[in-house]
Amino acid sequence: MSTLNLPVLDMSRLAEGPEAAESFRADLRAATHEVGFFYLVGTGIPPRLEERLLESAREFFALPEADKLAIENINSPHFRGYTRTGGERTQGRIDWREQIDIGPEEAAVTDPDAPPYTRLIGPNLWPAAQPGLQEVVSEWHARLTEISRTLLREWAQALGADRDFFERHFGNPSTLIKIVRYPGKEDPTPQQGVGAHKDFGVLTLLWVEPGKGGLQVERDGEWVDAPPVPGSFVVNIGEMLEYATQGYLIATNHRVISPKFPDDRISVPFFFSPSLDTTLPLIELPEELAAAARGVTQDPNNRIHSVYGENALKSRLRAHPDVAAIHHADLLAPQP
Furthest-apart CA atoms within the chain: distance in Å: 58
**Tell me: the pLDDT tens digits for 37-68?**
999 999 999 999 999 999 999 999 999 999 99
3-class DSSP assignment, residue 47 = helix
**Average confidence (pLDDT) over 28-45:** 96
Whether residue 238 has pLDDT greater than 80: yes
pLDDT at 24: 98
Q: Percent of the chain, pLDDT > 70?
A: 90
The confidence band for 260, taking pLDDT boundaries of 50, 70 and 90, is: confident
Residues comprising the chain, all counted = 336
Residue 119 CA: distances (Å) to CA of 13, 92, 145, 313, 322: 41, 22, 23, 8, 15
Q: Which of these ranges, 70-84, 140-154, 165-179, 302-316, has the smallest mean pLDDT?
A: 302-316
pLDDT at 304: 67
pLDDT at 299: 67
CB burial string 293-330: b at 16+ within 10 A, e below: beebeeeeebebbebbbbbbbbbbbbbbeebbeebbee
CA nearest to 176, candidates 311, 75, 330: 311
Q: Which of these ranges, 21-30, 77-86, 168-177, 184-193, has the smallest mean pLDDT?
A: 184-193
pLDDT at 3: 56
Contact status, residue 93 vs residue 192, Cβ threshold 8 Å:
yes
**Tell me: the pLDDT tens digits for 156-191?**
999 999 999 998 888 789 999 999 998 887 765 556
The confidence band for 1, taking pLDDT boundaries of 50, 70 and 90, is: very low
pLDDT at 107: 96
> What is the rounded distance in angstroms from the CA atom of residue 256 to the CA atom of residue 35?
17
For residue 40, what is the enclosing H or E element? strand 37-41
Whether residue 281 has pLDDT greater than 80: yes
pLDDT at 22: 97
